[in-house]
C-alpha cells in the first residue's frame, strides 16, 4: 500500500525533487559552457534559472529547496528525505552563486555589493571555498575597501602561500593603503602648517 504521506507530498509539489535537481544541474552546466565562451549574460541567466529550480512553493511562499526538504521531514516524519539531497542541493547552489560572482566580475560598472553577497552565500555553505573568498577580496579592492580586503587576503595567503593571484592583490592593496596613508599625512601636515602660519600672524605686533 502506498505511503499516504508520500502521495500527499507528490501531489503538493507536482514535480519530483530528483527532476528538479537534474534540471538544475543541466542549467548550471549550460551556464558553464556560456561562461567558457565568455557569454557572461547568457551564463548568468542559466545560473539564475538553476537556482530557481532549487526552490519550492510551499503554502504560497517560495523557499529554498533545502529548507523545504527540512520542513517536509518535520511535517511528514514517515517520509524519508535522503541526506545526500541536501548535500547535492547545497553544492549546486554554491557553484551557481560562485559562478554568478565570477560573471559579475567581468561586467563593466558592476555591482560589487552583489558580488560580495553571492560570495558570502557560498562561504555560508563552504567556509573554506577559495574562489569565493578571493572573489570577495577582489570586490572589496575595487570598492576601495583596501584594508578590509588586505586583512582577508593575508588570511587566505596563510592557507594558500603559493597562490600568485593572492600575492598580487596583497601588493595592490598594500600600495593603495600606503598611498592613502601618505595622503592623510599630507592633509594633516597642510592643516598644521596653516594653523601655525595663522598663529604667527596673530602674534605679530603692529
What would the mean pLDDT of 168-194 be, rounded to a whole number?
79
Same domain, 121 and 149: no
- pLDDT of 2 over the 70 cut: no
SS3 19: helix
pLDDT of 17: 77
Lowest pLDDT segment from 43-52, 74-83, 109-118: 74-83
- Assign residue 14 the CATH number of its domain: 1.25.40.10
Same domain, 122 and 156: no
**For 100-156, how does the pLDDT look when each residue is reduced to its tens digit (9 = 90+)?**
999 999 998 899 999 999 999 999 999 999 999 999 999 999 999 999 999 999 999
Distance from the first to the final alpha carbon of the chain: 110
Give the chain's domain count.
2
Name the more confident of 131 and 3. 131
- pLDDT of 54 over the 70 cut: yes
Same domain, 87 and 164: no
Domain of residue 23 covers 1-129
- Give the end of a domain, one of 129, 161, 176: 129
What would the mean pLDDT of 49-55 be, rounded to a whole number?
89
27 domain-assigned:
yes
Q: Give the whole-angstrom CA distance, residue 150 versus residue 137.
A: 8
pLDDT of 18: 82
pLDDT of 96: 98
Check: CB of residue 132 under 8 Å from CB of residue 116: no
pLDDT of 60: 42
Same domain, 2 and 75: yes
- Which letter, b or e, does each residue of 173-205 get, where b requires 16 or more Cβ atoms within 10 Å of its Cβ? beebeeeeeeeeeeeeeeeeeeeeeeeeeeeee
- pLDDT of 13 over the 80 cut: no
Q: Percent of the chain, pLDDT > 90?
A: 57
Q: What is the pTM of this model?
A: 0.76
What would the mean pLDDT of 184-204 be, rounded to a whole number?
60
Amino acid at each position: 500500500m502506498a505511503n499516504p504521506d508520500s502521495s500527499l507530498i507528490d501531489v503538493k509539489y507536482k514535480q519530483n525533487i530528483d527532476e528538479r535537481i537534474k534540471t538544475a544541474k543541466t542549467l548550471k552546466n549550460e551556464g558553464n559552457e556560456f561562461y567558457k565562451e565568455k557569454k557572461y549574460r547568457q551564463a548568468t541567466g542559466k545560473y539564475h534559472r538553476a537556482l530557481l529550480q532549487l526552490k519550492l512553493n510551499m503554502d504560497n511562499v517560495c523557499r529554498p529547496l533545502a529548507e523545504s526538504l527540512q520542513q517536509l521531514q518535520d511535517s511528514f516524519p514517515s517520509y524519508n528525505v535522503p541526506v545526500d539531497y541536501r548535500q547535492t542541493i547545497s553544492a549546486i547552489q554554491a557553484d551557481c552563486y560562485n559562478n554568478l560572482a565570477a560573471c559579475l566580475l567581468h561586467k563593466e560598472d558592476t555591482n560589487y555589493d552583489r558580488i560580495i553577497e553571492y560570495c558570502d552565500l557560498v562561504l555560508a555553505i563552504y567556509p573554506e571555498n577559495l574562489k569565493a573568498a578571493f572573489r570577495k577580496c577582489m570586490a572589496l579592492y575595487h570598492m576601495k575597501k583596501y584594508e578590509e580586503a588586505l586583512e582577508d587576503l593575508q588570511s587566505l595567503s596563510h592557507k594558500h602561500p603559493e597562490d600568485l593571484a593572492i600575492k598580487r592583490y596583497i601588493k595592490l592593496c598594500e600600495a593603495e593603503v600606503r598611498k592613502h596613508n601618505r595622503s592623510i599625512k599630507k592633509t594633516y601636515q597642510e592643516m598644521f602648517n596653516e594653523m601655525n602660519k595663522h598663529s604667527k600672524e596673530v602674534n605679530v605686533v603692529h
